[in-house]
Amino acid sequence: MARPHIEPFVDRSIDFKRFTLPGFSKGMHYKMLSLDNGTGACTMTVKYETGYKQPPGMSYTEVEILLMSGTIKYGKETFRPGHYLHIPPGVAMPEMKVSRAATVLMMYNFAEPSFVESDEHHRLAMPGQLTSVNAYDDIQWQPSSGAIYPAVAPGCMLKVLKYDPLTEALSFLYCMTPKFWQDNISYHDSAEEAYHIWGTSHMMQFGELPTGGYFWRPEYINHGSFSSELGILAFGRTDSKLHNYFHWNPWTSPEENRERAAAQLARQRPQLFKWAKSPDGHNHPHDFEYPDAKNNTHYI
């Protein structure tokens, strides 16, 4: 079972709850934004009390963290708002201390939240894939036309934080300028989630999404047109390639949208499409460049 379609949801509308799962220190509070009841993967707004401490340790799943307010110290490094961490599974992080009450967006992407005290990486961990960057200060905005075709309208810009070369899954900071508008309806082959750090945007289907607004949207669901009166700052994430299918029929279903996407594939890569649809059902993708991809990513 995948995550249900949660859109729109505003985390300001609910209270924080104490987070008391095994392994985690006391002083952590959460608001559940979306949850996969099959795998336990979830996205939460998390608040750490001033003085919160967590010993060195690791999670069994990939974790992404965006610091939205407060200050967090990991070992000797102090992180300020805008700091983004992508922690691969099994990578041990140093001791964590919260010197000033902090709020983070926290994503356990492929399994339930876990924390195991350890000052060593798990034997299967790939610490070289750890990302630690201040998304506000260390990266500049780029127009999405440099990364995605067809692209969103000018005025919606990106900072790519995580790019999975096998699946093309993306995590990114994005913004809309004041008076931004884009008149089309979009859908993707990927699930998409986003959280408004600041500001209000408007989507034709779902109305206004203010500060603290969130969505988890499964693949092929219509969204847009889009606009923002005063602009927004937000975090977004997809679970595979973000391709924009634009159209203007607001009544199409996810099934119709998927059929349209497949029709585009059939037109654009007819030989691959013919092979993949394999009437006898015996064709299986195999990538000689990444023969172990099936075991090492979530994408098949």
Partner 1 sequence: MAKPFIKHTVPAATKAWLKKEAVVQKKLHKAIQKEMNVDFAPKRAKLYEEFFERIKTRGFNVHFTDRRQITEEEIPTQHRKDKVVW
140 versus 295: smaller Cβ distance to partner 1:
295
Quote the least distance from Cβ 139 to partner 1, whole Å.
Answer: 21
**E strand intervals along 75-123:** 77-79, 83-87, 96-108, 116-117
125 versus 233: smaller Cβ distance to partner 1:
125
- Whether the Cβ atoms of residue 200 and residue 233 lie closer than 8 Å to each other: no
Using CB under 8 A, which of 164, 189, 192, 193 touches partner 1?
Answer: 164
- Residue 166 interacts with partner 1 (CB under 8 A)? yes
Is residue 293 helix, strand or coil? helix
Question: Residue 282, exposed/middle/buried by CB under 10 A (0-12, 13-18, 19+)?
Answer: exposed
Quote the least distance from Cβ 163 to partner 1, whole Å.
Answer: 12
Is residue 137 helix, strand or coil? coil
- Residue 293 interacts with partner 1 (CB under 8 A)? yes
Using CB under 8 A, which of 18, 207, 282, 286 touches partner 1?
Answer: 207
DSSP 117: E
Residues in the chain: 300
Q: Compute CA distances 59 → 65, 81, 250, whole Å.
A: 13, 22, 41
CA 272 and chain centroid, separation: 29
- Residue 253 interacts with partner 1 (CB under 8 A)? yes
Tokens of 153: 């309208």
70 versus 90: smaller Cβ distance to partner 1:
90
- Residue 114 interacts with partner 1 (CB under 8 A)? yes
- Residue 171 interacts with partner 1 (CB under 8 A)? no
With CA atoms as reference, report the closest residue to 160 among 63, 95, 84, 88.
Answer: 84
With CA atoms as reference, report the closest residue to 196 among 14, 10, 64, 5.
Answer: 10
- Using only C-alpha atoms, the chain has a radius of gyration, in whole angstroms, of 20
- Residue 283 interacts with partner 1 (CB under 8 A)? no
Q: Which stretch binds partner 1 (CB under 8 A): 75-83, 94-102, 119-127, 133-141?
A: 119-127
Number of residues that bind partner 1 (CB under 8 A): 68
Contact letters for partner 1, residues 129-158 (x by CB under 8 A): x-------------xxx---xxxxxx----
* CB-CB neighbours of 37 under 10 Å: 11
CA distance 225 to 205: 8
- Residue 89 interacts with partner 1 (CB under 8 A)? yes
Contact letters for partner 1, residues 33-62 (x by CB under 8 A): -xx-x--x-x-----------------xxx
Using CB under 8 A, which of 50, 69, 177, 249 touches partner 1?
Answer: 249
- Residue 183 interacts with partner 1 (CB under 8 A)? yes
- Whether the Cβ atoms of residue 43 and residue 34 lie closer than 8 Å to each other: yes
List of residues contacting partner 1 (CB under 8 A) = 3-9, 21-22, 32, 34-35, 37, 40, 42, 60-62, 88-90, 109-114, 122, 124-126, 129, 143-145, 149-154, 164-166, 182-184, 204-207, 218, 221-222, 225, 246, 248-251, 253-254, 290, 293, 295-298
